[in-house]
Amino acid sequence: MLKTHNLALLAGLITAVSAQAEEGFRQHEAHVHGVVEMNVAQDADALLVEITAPGMDVVGFEHPPQTSQEHQALDQAMALLEQADDLITINSAAGCTLEHSNVRQTSHHHDHDHDADHDHEHHDHDEGAHESGHHHDHDEDADHHEEHHHDHDGDEHEHGMHTAFSIQYTYTCRDSGKLDHLSTQWFSHFPRSHEIHTNVFTDRQQTAIKLNPDQTEVSL
């Protein structure tokens, strides 16, 4: 089990980092397609990996899904993002086990600079939940989006609204002393991304690095 005090420390750290990352996404030319943010925080046996990615990188569009193809693309992306093992590989000697995952899609309107949660939100999935499956409220989502995008054409959505995906994976590690690296398969699944800005906070170091399709490993 993940120790409560460790989880609280990580939660506090990642909350501060997340606020900076989200603000950076808004200030950095609204956000930059192709550039993903990743935070890796470790405290004792607790490990947290957080990824924030532009909607364009993940599904290929910024507006709420309008066609069956776009709904399918979003559903497939959400399902993939929930599978931590498909995106993050931690060196096996550390014995890290996924405790929870949280996948959320958010959007904000650039002209008015306000946030509005949209769409799918999945959180606190344990390994059993991954095995037993998940569900999406498609009809409610579709109705919700129709209410929000009436009287707007697609071009306005592309230019005025920016979406992002926020993913958190929480692990507990049996032997954190042997936790020395992780790698990501993000670029294989989402080839529109070309760079991951990564912040690392561990018992050993605090550093920032940039990953790319040829460099996908993070030293911890």
In tens, the pLDDT along 22-59 reads: 444 444 444 689 999 999 999 999 999 999 999 999 99
Query: What's residue 199's pLDDT?
Result: 97
Q: Where are the domains of the chain?
A: 35-107+161-219
- Could you report the per-residue pLDDT of 194-210, keeping only the tens digit for each? 999 999 999 899 999 99
Phi-psi region of 133 (alpha: psi -120 to 50; beta: other; left: phi over 0): left
Query: What's residue 126's pLDDT?
Result: 52
Instruction: From 12, 80, 22, 82, select the one nearest 46 (Cα to Cα).
Output: 12
The helix (H) or strand (E) run that includes residue 37 is strand 35-43
Query: What's residue 19's pLDDT?
Result: 52
What percentage of the chain exceeds 70 in pLDDT? 62
Long-range contacts of 192-195 (CB under 8 A, 24+ apart): 192/33, 192/34, 192/56, 192/57, 192/58, 192/60, 193/34, 193/35, 193/36, 193/53, 193/57, 194/34, 194/35, 195/34, 195/35, 195/36
Residue with more model confidence, 119 or 184: 184
- Could you report the per-residue pLDDT of 115-162, keeping only the tens digit for each? 334 444 555 555 444 443 444 444 444 444 444 444 444 443 445 678
State pTM to two decimals: 0.71
Please report which confidence band the pLDDT of residue 192 belongs to, taking 50, 70 and 90 as the band edges.
very high
Q: Is the pLDDT of residue 102 over 80?
A: yes
Query: What's residue 32's pLDDT?
Result: 86
Q: How high does pLDDT run on average in the chain?
A: 77
How many whole angstroms separate alpha carbon 148 and alpha carbon 156? Answer: 12
What percentage of the chain exceeds 90 in pLDDT? 57
Gyration radius of the chain's alpha carbons: 17
Query: What's residue 15's pLDDT?
Result: 56
Q: Is the pLDDT of residue 178 over 50?
A: yes
How many whole angstroms separate alpha carbon 57 and alpha carbon 55? Answer: 5
Instruction: From 191, 155, 159, 212, select the one nearest 57 (Cα to Cα).
Output: 191
Q: What are the tokens at 65?
A: 């899904």
Query: What's residue 42's pLDDT?
Result: 96
With vertex at residue 18, the alpha carbon angle to CA 12 and CA 19, rounded to the nearest 5 degrees, is 95
Distance from the Cα of residue 115 to its chain's centroid: 17
How many whole angstroms separate alpha carbon 14 and alpha carbon 79? Answer: 23
Question: Which residues, including other chains, have CB under 8 Å from residue 27's CB and lie 6 or more apart?
Answer: none
Q: What are the tokens at 87?
A: 């995106």
